[in-house]
Amino acid sequence: MKKTCLTLIGIVILFFHGFSQSPAKDSSAYKSRKLKLDEVNIVSSYYDQTADKSAVMGGRTDSKGIGDVTDLANGIDIKFIGWDSKQRKNSLTAGLGIDYHTAASQAFVDSNGHARNNGTRIYPTLDWTITNDQKGTEFGLGAYYSAEHNYYHSLGFNTSFSKKTNKDGEFGVKLTSYFDNIKMIRPSEFIPVDSIKNVPSSDSIVYITTASGRTEALSYNNGQIVGKSSKENIPSAGRNTFTASLSFSQVFNARLQGSMALDLVYQSGYLGLPFHRVYFNTGKDTIENLPSQRFKLPIGLRLNYFLGDRIILRSYYRFYVDNWGLKSHTASLEIPRKITPFFSLSPFYRFYIQSAAKYFAPYEVHTPQDQYFTSNYALAAFSSNFFGMGIRLAPPNGIFIKSLNVLEIRYGHYTQSVDLVSNIISLNLKFR
């Protein structure tokens, strides 16, 4: 995967080496022009996580490292722009992302730890916007697709509209919908014997459900595999997410800018995952069970203050609440500092705290009488800290070649109060 990413970067560099574009002109100077390549963005990141609690194991803490995850993500966006006969700017952006990850907990979908613990996700995107500078409006449409192995597929659509005010403000609205399909891959101990036909008789049978969606029955005799059968027709469940996003931004003066965003989110369908275990106080395990509806309400505030010509204070606050009883607060500050006109450093810090959802309980705390239950620590009460540094290089004559005009490297260290630690490093290249 690393070789694939480096090859992709090399191809793009060679592609741009043969030409460069002059700086973008005022769109009013353009009449009717066909779409033309404007910029290419390449993003690559590596994520490494160490954790002891995993929802696959029902939140047990006796399996050290069961929540360990690594992820290598690579993405490319290609943007085309053009002007129509009404001097409106048309932008078409096509993107493709590919993630490769390993997760220690995935192997324990099979109770004996024999299933695969890695996988790949692919997610193409397509966005189209029309900007009318004379009227101060912008209209957009987007489509998204995501597939992870053969067990998770998601299709998304959005439409957006924004309008500038006469007093340096802008209103925006965006409607988004996602339609997910989830293969109901259950832990091996919950697969009934009669669900797989033609299983040979043996001393013992171990059921393995792989991440590709295959359920296998392995028959053992004196420690040797003597037979195997499989069943591909695993049932699936749907999940729908609808979001209405409202935003307003305002330029107060030459130094201060602010914005506010409100999201109304509604989810319906199967909202858990079928391979997340829960252990009752009786010692018996089962699969998490969550309500089939969820309402979310996040509200965000952002203020940017230009402290002279070289320093910007970027502050952000977000409050979140939902009908599952979870509440959270996020506060962050980033301080980009220009060392030279073309080189800057951006230290950042983010603090996050949330209360537990009313359906969460740790390992062996839920009772069989509970209607809904989960031991997924993403729904537990915890606090987290995320801090790091960004480096941005954007010389006017390009980096190595004229068309590579922005290079950004960003590193972050994340700690969570429930014994989770992670590190992420990302690289962003922009070609124009």
Q: What is the mean pLDDT of residues 362-383?
A: 96
Q: Are residues 79 and 222 in the same domain?
A: no
Would you say residue 16 lies in a domain?
Answer: no
Q: What is the mean pLDDT of residues 258-271?
A: 98
Structurally, how many domains does the chain consist of?
2
Higher pLDDT pick, 20 / 92: 92
Residue 140 has pLDDT above 50, yes or no: yes
Q: Are residues 228 and 346 in the same domain?
A: no
Higher pLDDT pick, 265 / 150: 265
Q: Are residues 82 and 143 in the same domain?
A: yes
Higher pLDDT pick, 114 / 45: 45
Q: Are residues 84 and 229 in the same domain?
A: no
Three-state SS for the chain is: CHHHHHHHHHHHHHHHHCCCCCCCCCHHHCCCEEEEEEEEEEEEEEEEEEECCCHHHCCCCCCCCCCCEEEEEEEEEEEEEEECCCCCEEEEEEEEEEEEEEEHHHHHHCCCCCCCCEEEEEEEEEEEEEEECCCCEEEEEEEEEEEECCCEEEEEEEEEEEEECCCCEEEEEEEEEEEEEEECCCCHHHCCHHHCCCCCCCCEEEEEECCCCCEEEEEEECCEEEEEEEECCCCEEEEEEEEEEEEEEEECCCCEEEEEEEEEEEEEECCCCCCCEEEECCCCEEECECCCEEEEEEEEEEEEEEECCCEEEEEEEEEEEECCCCEEEEEEEECCEEEECCEEEEEEEEEEEECCCCCECCCCCECCCCCCEECCHHHCCEEEEEEEEEEEECCCCCECECCEEEEEEEEEEEEECCCEEEEEEEEEEEEC
CATH number of domain containing 55: 2.40.160.40
Residue 372 has pLDDT above 90, yes or no: yes
Question: Which pLDDT score is estimated for 4?
Answer: 39
Q: Are residues 122 and 210 in the same domain?
A: no
Boundary-marking domain end, from 203, 234, 265: 234
Q: Are residues 81 and 207 in the same domain?
A: no
Boundary-marking domain end, from 216, 234, 252: 234
How far, in Å, CA of 129 to CA of 80, rounded? 11
Residue 310 has pLDDT above 50, yes or no: yes
Q: What are phi and psi of 233, to 5 degrees?
A: -80, 65
Q: pLDDT for 191-212, tens place per residue?
A: 765 444 444 444 444 555 444 4
Q: Are residues 337 and 273 in the same domain?
A: yes
Question: Which pLDDT score is estimated for 424?
Answer: 98
Residue 27 has pLDDT above 50, yes or no: no
Question: Which pLDDT score is estimated for 109?
Answer: 84
CB 77 within 8 A of CB 398: no
Question: Which pLDDT score is estimated for 202?
Answer: 43
Q: What is the mean pLDDT of residues 415-431?
A: 96
Question: Which pLDDT score is estimated for 2?
Answer: 41
Residue 139 has pLDDT above 60, yes or no: yes
Residue 393 has pLDDT above 60, yes or no: yes
Structural domain harbouring 151: 36-185+239-431
Q: What is the mean pLDDT of residues 241-250?
A: 98
Highest mean pLDDT among 141-150, 234-243, 312-321: 312-321
Would you say residue 84 lies in a domain?
Answer: yes
Q: Are residues 427 and 329 in the same domain?
A: yes
Q: What is the mean pLDDT of residues 88-106?
A: 95
Would you say residue 26 lies in a domain?
Answer: no
Q: Are residues 227 and 333 in the same domain?
A: no
Residue 19 has pLDDT above 60, yes or no: no
Question: Which pLDDT score is estimated for 61?
Answer: 77
Q: Are residues 228 and 243 in the same domain?
A: no
Question: Which pLDDT score is estimated for 216?
Answer: 52
Would you say residue 31 lies in a domain?
Answer: no
Question: Which pLDDT score is estimated for 231?
Answer: 44
Residue 24 has pLDDT above 80, yes or no: no
